Structure 1
Amino acid sequence: MNNPLQRYGNLVTVRDWLRYAVSRFNRAGLFFGHGTDNAYDEAAYLILHTLHLPPDLLDPFLDARLLDSEREAVRHVIERRVTERVPAAYLTGEAWLRGRRFEVDSHVLVPRSPIAELLDEGLSPWVEAPETVMRVMDMCTGSGCLAIIAAQAFAHAVVDAVDVSEPALAVAKRNVAAYGLQDRVRLLRSDLFADLPVDPVDVIVCNPPYVNAASMAALPAEYRAEPELALAGGEDGMQLVHRILESAPDFLNPGGLLLLEIGHERPHFEAAFPTLEPMWLDSEATQDNILLLTREQLLDGRD
């Protein structure tokens, strides 16, 4: 039997394998955007994870020589990334968002929502006193990452983490347990608001499926590997957004806030809801991707 490492005889150190992986990824034309945005960072992450090394500590190990078993493990993960064209997070079973680790698999989106940054800031200045927020809902929770960050941002709040997907809720359950938040984060299965009791909350955060049909058809393989249920928003991306905006005010307390991510769909949002005037919120990496509406604005929009 041929030794698969024979052709890689000159690749001995972490530095060697890092150079090789970057070249391999660039030559294959991989798409990045699930935690990294370039071949170097993606290669470094995959190699460090495979070698069970700290994900943020590359330099001390660059010239470390690898055992044959380690070389084979690194070779294998590099080849999987190239041939399977899935996000690195699905290969490692984890994703990092705002310095937090979350378990993931192919039943959930890879955590990357810019809403996380706004939650880390306590939704300031729109929430004046985070300690007064007692109820939060994370609609379309997926891995549960935003529900967990919301529970950390609002220390006195109970958070309802809602999703229609049972496999997604199973992932969320493990993440909630990993952060010890079982007493404050409740996992609920529902088709948006349809199967929930009306029990108003102070804040709803939502990263719904919003990708329009033309954009879905053009997605690179790495994005097509994510669950279509969590991405596809119909012809104009607003199919589920209509339902969310219609029902949300019934589930918000007076003065309550809806924070909604819609990606690059602002033109479609404005065409679909011409009478609404949301506040568009920026994050470090995005503009016009997140909107904020009050309960009162949502009620007025029904008229």
Structure 2
Amino acid sequence: MSAPARLPIGAAQPSAPGPPRPPGRHRLLPYLLLLPAAAWLLVFFAVPLLQLAAASLYDPAGSLATGYAMTWAFGNYPDALAAYWPQFGRSFGYAGAALVLALLAGYPLAYAIARKAGRWKNLLLVCVVAPMFTSFLVRTLAWKTILSDNGWLVGLLRDVHLLAPDGRLLATPVAVVLGLTYNFLPFLVLPLYASLERLDPRLLEAAGDLYAGPLRTFRRVTLPLSMPGLVAGTLLFFIPASGDYINAELLGTPNEYMIGNVIDSAFLVRLDYPQGAALSFLLMAAILAVVFGYLRRTGPEKVL
């Protein structure tokens, strides 16, 4: 028998056959599954956004009765900002104050549910989420009753001399901030809970073995590892809170109105579509600037 032929040294070895390539229609299947969502976003997000952008450039002298002319009136933006910059500042101030209160209340709550609740964990999570099953309007009206001059909270604060006999909470900035805190608190607690619940308890035990106290363990172990939930929760809280108008409408006065109230009035009361659209885009740009600045400071990988 003849010896088998050998390939010369340095010659390319034949590669093993790879897996068969799927037919073209199967490779397109994942993209076809995206079509319903893409169509939904196109029809109900992209198209209305483009229409709103066009409306922001209409001639401000027009009206619904006479019609609007596209004059590329970019001056609508500085005019709207000059007229309502206090409401912009008030919106971000109220949202920031509510976020601080939500962090003070929400972080301990999320930590207690994730690390200390034991068999009560599911019940406490239901208590956090349950208010979201009721109307936003109903929840805010409930706070209007709680903060009223004849409510139990005002009576209690007067009894312990934390509020003057003629003092009040309703129709003040305090009421608006408390309403924002309550209504958007679950958006902060749930991402925090998800991060804290995944925290490996052996890391906390190792910190204790290295003689780290509770405060140092929190600062060096718990807080850094919970940053993904903290960053996501603060964004989910701050973005809707800064554009809210229900709380200021029901719990405040025109002196507490936020930019959302102005936009609502521009579209539905004054029917000033160019100004309402310009204010909407200014609010969107301001929120995006805050979000990008925040992510740049904290690191976008923290939310991944």
Q: TM-score range by the shorter chain?
A: under 0.3
TM-score scaled to structure 2, two decimals? 0.22
TM-score, with length taken from structure 1? 0.22
Higher percent of residues as strand: 1
Which has the greater radius of gyration? 2
